[in-house]
Structure 1
Amino acid sequence: MALKLQVIVCSTRPGRVGLPVAQWFQQYAKEHAGFDVQLVDLADFGLPLYDEPKHPRMQQYQHAHTKRWSESVAAADAYVFVTPEYNYMPPPSLVNALDYVYNEWNYKPCGFVSYGGVSGGLRAVQMARLHTTTLKMMPMVESVAIPSVSNHVKHGAAFESNELIDASAKTMLDEMLRWARALQPMREKA
């Protein structure tokens, strides 16, 4: 049975380019054929600022939106976060989504496809990697950075990749597959 990879669109703002970038990566990951790939859009979950009365580690969720998010996160063996950079940081929507659950993230690899201006979102990824380690995830060193993303997404439509971006995606997916397989016994024991 194939390991499950969720490609998570992290930006929820109107006019975002994250969706076409994520759709491109989803298709690229499907062609890679290492994972059973699912696109997950944080905008579809409508998570308010964390509003559960009990700590997420307890998994005693009271709200339907949390239960739905928990089920989604728990269903995957690995994640790729498709994220912009806001003020050198990941978007609040990603930080909030990470904090909503805890055990569901544990012992799973994660990668990042970041986009933005000149830096391609790399500073946001630096911060997000720190965050994911506290959730017992294994963030990949390899990532996909897309500088000047507006040159790759015309009129909010399809994302146009290039050889360098594709090579980065392949390298990250190869490494994620190794880690997802290696961490599988730890996920089963948990």
Structure 2
Amino acid sequence: MTRIGIILGTTRPGRVGPQVAQWVEKTAGAREDADFELVDLADYDLPLFDEPRSPLMGAYEHAHTRAWSARVAELDGFVFVTPEYNRSIPSALKNAIDFLYGEWNNKAAGFVAYGSNVSGARAVEHLRLIAGALQLATVRTQVNLSLVTDFEKFTTFEPAARHDDALQQMLTEVIAWTNALAPLRQA
């Protein structure tokens, strides 16, 4: 069965991201075309990138990198859940991505973002650029959530019903692209 990781891309204290990631996980869990697993960056306690060699080499010196590598490698595709911080992604997410290279290759990715002004759209645009450098195929549909309209008092996640269709479409695209890329991962 295809395994999709729902990567929670913030480690900030008081973060609202877990609510969003759990919504994605619950929605995805009702599907029968893939297995979905929540991957919380906070569980990996990655320091600032500290490997002496480029991730292109895939030769990791540190146990934390090897654990992160093993987790990402066992997944076939991803849904990144990210806030928008200062018109981009959180540093913890960028750092976690930068630890690896080959583990991201020939897999698909979708995005669920949230923010105040443009509902996380700029974070997704930055992730799309990063993904291209990693040979990570991104799907067209994305879910953008507003801290103003989809969260009560900016803290309690209450998504508008219209996001359900977008989330289902994005998940369908991620699964389709992940399956289509499978022969490249097996080569």
TM-score normalised by the chain length of structure 1: 0.93
Q: Which structure shows the bigger proportion of residues in strand conformation?
A: 2
Q: What's the counterpart of residue 88 of structure 1? A: 87
Identity of aligned residues (%): 44
Count residues in correspondence: 187
Q: Which amino acid aligns with 1:41?
A: D
- 3-state SS in 2 of match to 1:32: coil
Q: CA RMSD in A?
A: 1.5
| CA displacement, residues 146-184 of structure 1 (integer Å, 9 cap, x when unaligned) | 012674357856x33332110110110111111011100
Which ranges of structure 1 fall in alignment gaps of 5 or more residues?
none
- 3-state SS in 2 of match to 1:133: helix
Q: Which amino acid aligns with 1:122?
A: A
* Cα distance in 2 for residues equivalent to 1:23 and 1:150: 18
1:6 touches 1:79 (CA, 8 Å); kept in 2? yes
2:169 to 152, 167, 171: 171
1:20 touches 1:153 (CA, 8 Å); kept in 2? no
Where does 1:55-74 land on structure 2 (aligned, <5 Å)?
A: 55-74=54-73
- 3-state SS in 1 of match to 2:47: coil
Matched, 1:28 2:31: no
Pair 153,47 (structure 1): closer, same or farther in 2 beyond 3 Å = farther
Q: What's the counterpart of residue 181 of structure 1? A: 179
Q: Which amino acid aligns with 1:12?
A: T
Q: What's the counterpart of residue 3 of structure 1? A: 2
Q: What's the counterpart of residue 136 of structure 2? A: 137
1:106 touches 1:135 (CA, 8 Å); kept in 2? yes
Which ranges of structure 2 fall in alignment gaps of 5 or more residues?
none
Q: Which amino acid aligns with 1:79?
A: F
TM-score normalised by the chain length of structure 2: 0.95
* Cα distance in 1 for residues equivalent to 2:80 and 2:32: 18
Q: What's the counterpart of residue 100 of structure 2? A: 101
2:113 touches 2:120 (CA, 8 Å); kept in 1? yes
| CA displacement, residues 103-124 of structure 1 (integer Å, 9 cap, x when unaligned) | 0000000011000113110011
* Cα distance in 2 for residues equivalent to 1:176 and 1:57: 25
* Cα distance in 2 for residues equivalent to 1:183 and 1:103: 14
Pair 26,178 (structure 1): closer, same or farther in 2 beyond 3 Å = same
